[in-house]
């Protein structure tokens, strides 16, 4: 059932568990639209899932003016698998990279952090004590006529979206750039890479669609997954060669009949990748957080299915974290709270908010 009421049915099956077979892409899914300009009081993003039971989230603590999307977010931690939660007074850097984060730490060195304020990006190499603003120099062929991409940036503001941090080198980062000039904006083609922490940049993969997160395998960083114009693209040699492994363009996801008239530009949504997570113990298992739901592949991205949390809401999935000790366990942050699975997403139980919150 693809409604909010379906969530109640899922969570009432067997002590909070219900079998929810991962849906094949041939199955049409009607996607509900969120209420415009509002934030759910249950919205949460998973920050960390480690040591079997430690879970950190960033969640709505209070709603100032819900109708205008004004909310106060705070960090909370649970050390008993979501039975109880403790609110933290100070913010913590995200340990998982996902789209539109304000601050994230490098997976290989927690002293290296990146944060964004407005259109400016900063880097810290001492755990956030001091910050260095990124210079952001894009490549240009000396003495040549500016390319179309270069001309688009003249007189405009370059807005960086950090799409990946190398799992072993904290100063090698990947980004997409958006050129903003007045009321117009345009994504520069492809993904760029910097090897000095974000000052100097070079083209990395022009086959990828800008603005989407790039997945890098922590076990083998030469293996990467990203979104191309015709589906999921993969490289096994660190980005030298890319090939399409899946035609995943998510054509099975369409507007709910009740809200279809609110969609402009066709009867299907365009996919956006907000996070890619690799299973450290089984590199063939990959999770993909998108605006159209949470997808799972068990063959390194060649085929995908859509996980069922009991609801299908456009932009309803915020993040996923894989238990570093038991990788069959995942925690998913959504607009309706935090959900836990012990079988790679076949069944889910809600752990936040609970009756004690």
Q: H helices then E strands: how many in the chain?
A: 2, 28
Of 317 and 29, the one with more pLDDT = 317
Enumerate the domain spans of the chain.
1-92+220-357, 100-211
Give the torsion sign (CA, 297, 299, 300, 302): negative
Q: Which residue has the higher pLDDT, 144 or 330?
A: 330
* Mean of pLDDT over the chain: 81
Pick the more confident residue, 76 or 32: 76
User: Quick check: bond before 242 cis, omega within 30?
Assistant: no
pLDDT digit string (tens) for 203-217? 999 999 999 999 999
Secondary structure in 3-state letters for 10-69: HHCCCCCCCECCCEECCCCEEEECCCCCCCCCCCEEEEEEECCCEEEEEEEEEEEEHHHC
C-beta of residue 156 within 8 angstroms of C-beta of residue 180: yes
DSSP string, 282-326: -TT-EEEEETTEEEEESSTTSS-EE---S--BTT-EEEEEE-SS-
For 253-291, write each residue's pLDDT tens digit: 555 555 543 433 344 567 889 999 999 999 899 999 998
Write the pLDDT tens digit of every residue in 58-81.
Answer: 887 665 544 444 567 788 889 888
Q: Which of 90 and 297 is assigned the larger pLDDT? A: 297
Predicted confidence at residue 58, as pLDDT, reads: 86
């Amino acid at each position: 059932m693809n409604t909010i009421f379906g969530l109640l049915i899922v969570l009432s099956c067997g002590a909070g568990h219900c079998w929810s077979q991962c849906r094949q892409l041939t199955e049409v899914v009607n996607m509900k639209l969120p209420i415009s300009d509002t934030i759910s009081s249950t919205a949460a993003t998973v920050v960390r899932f480690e040591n079997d039971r430690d879970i950190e989230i960033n969640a709505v603590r209070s709603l100032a003016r819900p109708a205008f999307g004004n909310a106060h977010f705070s960090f909370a931690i649970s050390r008993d698998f979501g039975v109880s939660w403790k609110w933290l007074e100070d913010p913590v850097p995200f340990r998982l990279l996902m789209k539109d984060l304000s601050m994230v730490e490098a997976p290989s060195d927690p002293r290296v952090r990146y944060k964004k304020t407005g259109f400016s990006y900063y880097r810290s190499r001492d755990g956030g004590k001091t910050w260095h603003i990124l210079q952001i120099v894009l490549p240009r062929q000396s003495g040549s006529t500016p390319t179309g991409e270069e001309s688009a940036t003249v007189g405009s503001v370059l807005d960086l979206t950090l799409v990946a941090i190398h799992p072993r080198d904290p100063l090698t980062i990947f980004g997409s750039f958006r050129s903003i000039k007045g009321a117009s904006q345009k994504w520069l083609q492809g993904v760029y890479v910097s090897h000095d922490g974000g000052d100097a940049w070079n083209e990395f993969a022009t086959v990828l669609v800008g603005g989407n997160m790039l997945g890098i395998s922590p076990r083998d960083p030469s293996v990467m997954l990203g979104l191309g114009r015709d589906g999921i693209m993969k490289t096994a040699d660190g980005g030298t060669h890319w090939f399409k492994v899946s035609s995943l363009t998510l054509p099975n996801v369409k507007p709910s009949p009740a809200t279809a008239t609110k969609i402009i530009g066709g009867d299907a949504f365009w996919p956006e990748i907000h996070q890619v997570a690799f299973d450290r113990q089984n590199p063939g298992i990959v999770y993909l957080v998108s605006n159209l739901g949470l997808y799972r592949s068990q063959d390194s991205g060649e085929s995908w299915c859509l996980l069922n949390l009991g609801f299908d809401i456009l932009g309803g999935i915020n993040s996923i974290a894989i238990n570093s000790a038991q990788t069959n366990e995942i925690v998913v942050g959504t607009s309706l709270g935090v959900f836990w699975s012990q079988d790679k997403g076949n069944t889910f139980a809600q752990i936040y908010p609970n009756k004690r919150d």
